[in-house]
Amino acid sequence: MLATLTDEHFSDPGWIYERKFDGVRAIVVRRDGRTELYSRNRKDMTGTYPELAEALDGQDLPDLVADGEVVAFDDGRTSFERLQARLGLTDPQRARETGVTVYLYLFDLLAFDGADLTEVPLRGRKRVLRRALHWDDPVRFTTHRNGDGERYLDYACAHGWEGVIAKRADSPYRPGRTKDWLKFKCVRDQELVIGGWTDPGGARKEFGALLVGYHPTAGDTRLRYAGKVGTGFTEATLHALRERFAGLDRADSPFDRPVRERGAHWLAPELVAQIGFTEWTRDGRLRHPRYLGLRDDKPATEVVREG
Strand partners, 145: 17
Question: pLDDT at position 75, please?
Answer: 87
What's the CATH code of the domain at 263? 2.40.50.140
**Residues 33 and 157 placed together within one structural domain of the fold:** yes
**Residues 69 and 139 placed together within one structural domain of the fold:** yes
**Which DSSP helix (H) or strand (E) runs through 13?**
none
Question: pLDDT at position 99, please?
Answer: 96
Question: pLDDT at position 24, please?
Answer: 96
Query: Does a structural domain hold residue 193?
Result: yes
Query: Does a structural domain hold residue 283?
Result: yes
Query: Does a structural domain hold residue 93?
Result: yes
Query: Does a structural domain hold residue 269?
Result: yes
Q: Of the residues 185, 220, 237, which one is the last residue of a structural domain?
A: 185
Count Cα atoms within 13 angstroms, Cβ side, for 86.
Answer: 29
How many residues are given for the chain? 307
Query: Does a structural domain hold residue 307?
Result: no
**Residues 167 and 20 placed together within one structural domain of the fold:** yes
**Residues 131 and 166 placed together within one structural domain of the fold:** yes
The count of structural domains within the chain is: 2
**Residues 172 and 209 placed together within one structural domain of the fold:** no
Question: pLDDT at position 139, please?
Answer: 98
**Residues 161 and 228 placed together within one structural domain of the fold:** no
Domain interval for residue 207 = 189-302
Is residue 20 flagged as an active site residue?
Answer: yes
Query: Does a structural domain hold residue 224?
Result: yes
> What are the per-10-residue average pLDDT scores of the chain (307 residues)?
94 97 96 96 96 97 98 92 92 97 98 98 98 97 96 94 96 95 92 97 90 94 96 93 96 96 96 94 92 92 90
Global pTM?
Answer: 0.83
Start-to-end CA distance of the chain, whole Å, equals 19
Q: Of the residues 185, 215, 232, which one is the last residue of a structural domain?
A: 185
**Residues 43 and 173 placed together within one structural domain of the fold:** yes
**Residues 6 and 115 placed together within one structural domain of the fold:** yes
**Residues 140 and 200 placed together within one structural domain of the fold:** no
Question: pLDDT at position 222, please?
Answer: 95
Question: pLDDT at position 218, please?
Answer: 86
**Which DSSP helix (H) or strand (E) runs through 153?**
helix 149-158
What's the CATH code of the domain at 23? 3.30.470.30
Distance CA 151, CA 11 (A): 8
CA angle 36, 296, 144 (to 5 degrees): 65
Q: Of the residues 150, 185, 220, which one is the last residue of a structural domain?
A: 185
**Residues 61 and 179 placed together within one structural domain of the fold:** yes
**Residues 55 and 194 placed together within one structural domain of the fold:** no
Question: pLDDT at position 146, please?
Answer: 95
